[in-house]
Amino acid sequence: MNAIILAAGMGTRLRPLTDEIPKALVKIGSESFFERQLRLLRKQGIADITVLTGYRADAFKPWHDEPDLCFVHNDHYHDWNNLYSMYLVRDRLADTLVLDGDVWIGEEVLPLRTPATSRWYVGHRTGMANEWAVVQDDKGRVSRIDVRSGEGWILTGISYWSGQDGPRLAAVMEGMMASPDAPSLFWDDAPRNSLAVLDVHAEPLDSGDWAEVDTVDELMNLRQRMG
């Protein structure tokens, strides 16, 4: 199993904390998002980790010589959503964990064994607004993704893609890149629009096992929660 960490974004809603560093390097206690993800991936024995950088990429230089890391730079971090980041490393997408670089993950979240099928790790949310929520069939397979408000199970920024589904997604992304809308698309649009040819299930996470941080208030709440 390999891993991809998407850490190219600008994190504008966390300014001024992200004026000089990328969002993935903002600290939660003694560790940044990136440092925590790296530690937990290594704890699971994953020794092939690709890191997509963009905004303030030089801040990752202290890790450049680490043998299990491969850094890939996204020159379009400022004018594309993250489809372009994943397109750059589409050939590595097989038996792969994909982590948004700004998601906080619990100690026991990452799988100890290779999942039997592709997985979207999801968290329950109430009072949500315009979130990507999964709809499953009676066997737990994701049948569609709705962008909606209210209550539901939403994408957490953590996913696993099997050796069969990864290459299928790579081909889908190649097609998406030809669209005039490509700069506005997210990488999750690729599986969302090709669920008929994928075998992806939803894996629920407890509320204490993950956190997304988009604002300074959310960051302060997470820091308080972590003590």
Cα–Cα nearest to 212, from 123, 129, 148, 134: 123
> β-pairing, 31-32 with 27-28?
antiparallel
- Quote the DSSP letter at residue 88: H
Q: List pLDDT tens digits, range 15-51.
A: 888 888 999 999 988 899 999 999 999 999 999 999 9
pLDDT tens digit sequence for 91-139: 999 999 999 999 999 888 888 678 889 999 999 888 878 888 899 888 8
What distance in Å separates the CA atoms of residue 64 and residue 24, rounded to the nearest whole number? 15
Domains recognised in the chain with CATH numbers: 2-226 (3.90.550.10)
Residue type for position 137? D
Give the DSSP per-residue string, 113-126: S--SSEEEEEEEEE
pTM of the model: 0.94
Mean of all residue pLDDT scores within the chain = 91
